[in-house]
Amino acid sequence: MSNQKPTDVTEEVRSAEAAAAAEIGTQADVDEIMKKYDRESNTRPWEGVPAVVIKVLLAAFSIFMIYMNLFVVWDERIRRSLFLGVVILFVFLIFPATKSMKQKVNHIPFYDILIGLAGAVSFFYFTFNSKAIIDHGTRITNLEIALGVIGILVLAECCRRVTGIPILVVAGCFVIYAFYAFMTTGRDPSFYKALRKIIYNLFYTTTGVIGTPIGVCSTYIVLFIIFGAFLESTGIADFFISCANAIAGAASGGPAKVAVISSALCGMVSGSSVGNTVTTGSVTIPMMKKTGYPGEFAGAVEAAASTGGQIMPPIMGAAAFLMAEMVGVPYSDIVVRAILPAVLYFLGIFLMVHLRAKRLGLKGIPREQLPKAKKLLPKIYLLIPLAALVYLIVSGYTMSRAAIIATLLCIVVSMFDKEHRLTPSKFLSALETGAKNTLSIAVACGIAGIIAGVVTMTGLGQVFITAIVGVSHGHLMIALFLTMLCCIILGMGVPTTATYIIMATTCAPILTTGMGLNSLCASMFVFYFGIVADITPPVALAAYAGSAIAKSNPMRTAFNATKLAIAAFLIPYIFCLNPQMLLIDTTIPGFVMIAITSFIGMFAVAAAIEGYLFGPMNPVFRIIIAAAGLALMYPGTVTDIIGIGGVLAIGAIEFLAKGRKKAAA
């Protein structure tokens, strides 16, 4: 890797870069900061035989989920309650009650055993007595009320351990509102009657805990998570990083561009902002720092790019599967319609990385140190599972079958590489990883189902619609802005999946019913802003993970990541104002024009943020070119003409200024 800088870089910058390059976070640093900020990273220390037993049990759970989705035809209430009961048992086995770093090895407190069993039994009772409970409807017994209360409270405790308190606060407020609604409308004036009604709706029907989110999680999401675990075990992440190095490593500021490309590719497989940041960041962040990027910027690049993996087709993270179910369109449609927004997002980061490299005068990696294309081509077979997955989904296969077939192809593909060949131990580990990664999403889906259930049974959605439409006075931009704030605030520290469910239940109907927005545009809007919560201060888990590796200030890294991800704050507004970006009511020429103007607009905005085009720009020119870029991204012929004029004018002025400087030198 090259540390050479051009002669115009100051000695102070050289010293700062050299110091930065010397400080790289270790795996212990990453583990420490993740245990502090990310509850999923805080697990019980199991060793020896107990560790093997838990590993086998988790693997068996993955196999059972595959079997259940392939061969078993059960009532949805049976399969969903069984799924949640097992999830609760595993949560108490794996996650301790506190964040204490000093957990006893091979130890689980007796109260955790009792609470876990009580919660699981509550769901299993429904599993084995579902017919009788369904037959007597709302007339549930006192025992069934008690079991429902226990089940919901234990699920809430699981959520606290795995994802944190924020989503519980939201769910708690909704439940309180449900009691208020039932006890003040005259329908159920007593607390007992309100409790019975609420427990029946939230625990024993498919509009609550075991609603659509858990249904999607127990069918599509869990199978795609297992597929992702097997795909990662084939070594595809290393292949993606090598490809990114071969493509962009030698360019100016190459390592940062490698981070953007590799994170986009790896992120669509992992579907986890934090996991992707740690996986690819352990390789790319040290390279960026050695090249000369400041630590805060290096960690931010990786965090922003890794977060974008959840909007990158074809997998797009778990929330995309829920979107397909809730909007009522095929998943393949969502994948195709999401391509241009995803490309624009990564283009925005790539451009800012490029302009920062030009501004700092950073070099790339020497070509002799980069992987050669002829050595990478023989490993292109690693893409077979991904290509097959896309083909199967587009061809009309169910998502479950497509995921399972693609998983089998991962096993076949691994046999061609001795280093990544799936031995029995690696096979077991992939199944274990798939099951473990399912737990947090399943718990979050269950709690989010409570929120959706309250909205359904109380008519709260109409209250929200009336309120937002009243505040916005019917102006779509104001309604979108208010919705964005809700998504970011509710999404802080909450899994993307749960954020999407909450917002799709509460805010998306406001945009569709109240403002007349297309349902897919509304769902994609809340999806995007639920994702950027991972890099938005003060709770920005992906940015904190990047800062741990970069040995940088976590908050500064988060602010840098937010700035780099500016595209994610602009693109949702664009496709809401002009649905043609999502291939809705468009023609090929119209779509091409939107793509071109959006690309130019994103370039202008990136230049304004970095303050560099052909050279450093003064504040006035930055404001003008930023306005021109935004005009290009806003739909309309007039705004396009204004935007093009502004970009050309500033571009010409900056280009001529650069020429004069060269002539003077």
Q: What is the pLDDT of residue 307?
A: 86
Q: What is the pLDDT of residue 125?
A: 95
Does residue 34 have a pLDDT over 80? no
Does residue 11 have a pLDDT over 90? no
* Share of the chain residues as helix, strand and coil, in percent rounded to the nearest 5: 75, 0, 20
Mean pLDDT of 227-239: 88
All residues at 6 or more sequence positions from 553 whose CB lies less than 8 Å from its CB, including other chains: 296, 547
Does residue 19 have a pLDDT over 70? no
The torsion of the CA quartet 154, 156, 160, 163, rounded to 10 degrees, works out to 120
Instruction: State which of 215, 246, 275 marks the end of a domain.
Output: 215
Q: Answer yes or no: are the C-beta atoms of 488 and 508 closer than 8 Å.
A: no
With cut-offs at 50, 70 and 90, classify the pLDDT of residue 133: confident
Does some domain include residue 117? yes
Does residue 243 have a pLDDT over 60? yes
Does some domain include residue 572? no
Does residue 355 have a pLDDT over 70? yes
Does some domain include residue 20? no
All residues at 6 or more sequence positions from 189 whose CB lies less than 8 Å from its CB, including other chains: 183
Cα distance between residue 54 and residue 433, in whole Å: 12
Q: Encode pLDDT of 103-112 as tens digits.
A: 788 899 999 9
Does residue 246 have a pLDDT over 50? yes
Q: What is the pLDDT of residue 1?
A: 34
Does residue 152 have a pLDDT over 70? yes
Cα distance between residue 302 and residue 262, in whole Å: 9
Give SS3 for 396: coil
Instruction: State which of 173, 193, 215 marks the end of a domain.
Output: 215
Q: What is the pLDDT of residue 164?
A: 80
Q: Encode pLDDT of 180-193 as tens digits.
A: 888 887 655 788 88
With cut-offs at 50, 70 and 90, classify the pLDDT of residue 607: very high
Residue of higher predicted confidence among 513 and 604: 604
Provide the token pair at 439: 């737990």
Task: Work out the mean pLDDT of the chain and round it to a whole number.
Answer: 85
Q: Encode pLDDT of 466-495 as tens digits.
A: 888 888 887 888 889 988 888 877 777 677
Instruction: State which of 187, 215, 243 marks the end of a domain.
Output: 215
Q: What is the pLDDT of residue 37?
A: 59
Q: What is the pLDDT of residue 327?
A: 87
Does some domain include residue 133? yes
**Half-sphere exposure of residue 260: CA atoms within 13 angstroms, side-chain side:** 25
Residue from 382, 381, 401 nearest 391 by CA? 401
Bond prior to 635 in cis (omega within 30° of 0): no
Does residue 38 have a pLDDT over 80? no
Residue of higher predicted confidence among 103 and 329: 329
Helices 48-71 and 424-458 pack at an angle, to 10 degrees, of 60
Domain that holds residue 614: 587-665
Mean pLDDT of 642-652: 93
Q: What is the pLDDT of residue 609?
A: 92
Our count of domains for the chain comes to 2
Q: Answer yes or no: are the C-beta atoms of 183 and 190 closer than 8 Å.
A: yes
Residue of higher predicted confidence among 13 and 37: 37
Q: What is the pLDDT of residue 66?
A: 94
Q: Encode pLDDT of 86-101 as tens digits.
A: 999 999 999 998 876 5
Q: What is the pLDDT of residue 309?
A: 81
Provide the token pair at 457: 């049974």
Does some domain include residue 158? yes
Q: What is the pLDDT of residue 534?
A: 77
Burial of 660 (0-12, 13-18, 19+ CB in 10 A): exposed
Does some domain include residue 433? no
What are the two backbone dihedrals, phi and then psi, of residue 650, each rounded to the nearest 5 degrees?
Answer: -65, -40
Mean pLDDT of 121-141: 88
Q: Encode pLDDT of 377-403 as tens digits.
A: 888 999 999 899 888 888 888 888 888
Does residue 58 have a pLDDT over 90? yes
Residue from 273, 270, 280, 272 nearest 240 by CA? 280
Does residue 541 have a pLDDT over 70? yes
Does some domain include residue 603? yes
Q: Centre a 10 Å sphere on the Cβ of residue 425 and count the other Cβ atoms it contains.
A: 9
Mean pLDDT of 13-17: 40
Q: Encode pLDDT of 581-605 as tens digits.
A: 898 888 888 888 988 999 999 999 9
Does some domain include residue 14? no
Does residue 508 have a pLDDT over 60? yes
Residue of higher predicted confidence among 232 and 91: 91
With cut-offs at 50, 70 and 90, classify the pLDDT of residue 12: very low
Cα distance between residue 631 and residue 601, in whole Å: 7
**31-35, 499-503, 608-612 — which is least confidently predicted?**
31-35
Q: Encode pLDDT of 163-215 as tens digits.
A: 888 889 889 999 999 998 888 876 557 888 889 999 999 999 999 999 988 99
With cut-offs at 50, 70 and 90, classify the pLDDT of residue 271: low
% pLDDT > 70, the chain: 92
